[in-house]
Amino acid sequence: MVTNNKETPLKAIFFDAAGTLFHLPRGVGYHYALVGHEIGLQLNSRQLDRAFTAAWNSIPARPPIDEPRQDDDKDWWRQLVNLVLDETSPTLGELDRDNFFEIAYEHFTEAGVWELYPEVLEVLEKLSPRFQLSVVSNFDGRLRMILEQLGVSKFFKQVFLSSELGADKPDPEIFRRALNVLRLQPNEVLHVGDDPQRDWKAGTAAGLSIFQLDRKKNSLRDLLSIL
């Protein structure tokens, strides 16, 4: 589904990253358990998945700031991982927690961890000659390495990261700051994302047109047919 606020020629398309362009085929819990095994910890992947989802949903949204967030948001991820470990391994000591976090943080930049959705390459190849493409994501600097490994970084003029812009979805300010960098008006841009709050609601609040990606019902190929 596409919602369009004004009939204006489309100049650019913003894409969310994880859940829109690529995903974890085995889930977060599998990878956390794998990292744990490397350092001698026996962790249950299903418990880790549940704890990660609960932790992700429990961390409150942050207000925008006027500069990049410190340490490329690494401390934010450390806080999240600690919440997961509080739930799944409450007796784990500080040194083991630090070791787990550092290995896990790097693990998610390794080749083969993430996987493109099957239609992504075809869609980007067809859209890039027609529109200016960028990524707008609640990610950190690791995203650029992931996009490079997946072979799609060449399609994007800009990769806008919440850690660098100082604003996070679902605050529409992240989209306003990206628009300002590109010198585009909201009604010249379509945002593509899978999250009802972080992508659809926030993008709409910033004045963008929205393609509501719901992989149970559609795919990015539907975006091609609409455009």
How long a stretch of residues is the chain?
227
Q: Which pLDDT score is estimated for 1? A: 54
CB atoms closer than 10 angstroms to residue 122: 12
- State the DSSP H helix or E strand holding residue 136, giving kind and residue range, or none if neither: strand 132-137
Question: Over the chain (227 residues), what is each successive 10-residue block's mean pLDDT?
Answer: 65 98 96 95 95 95 94 96 96 94 96 96 97 97 97 97 97 98 97 97 97 96 94
When computed from its CA atoms, the radius of gyration of the chain, rounded to whole angstroms, is 18
Within 13 Å and on the Cβ side, how many CA atoms surround 78? 12
Q: What is the per-residue DSSP string for 24-82?
A: -TTHHHHHHHHHHHHTT----HHHHHHHHHHHHHHSPP----SSPPGGGGHHHHHHHHH
Give the phi and the psi of residue 7 in degrees, each rounded to 5. Answer: -80, 90
This prediction has a pTM of 0.93
CATH fold for the domain made of 27-107: DNA polymerase; domain 1 (1.10.150)
Q: Give domain limits for the chain.
A: 2-23+114-226, 27-107
Contact 89, 39 (CB under 8 A): no
Q: In CATH terms, are 2-23+114-226 and 27-107 the same topology?
A: no
As a CATH number, domain 2-23+114-226 is 3.40.50.1000
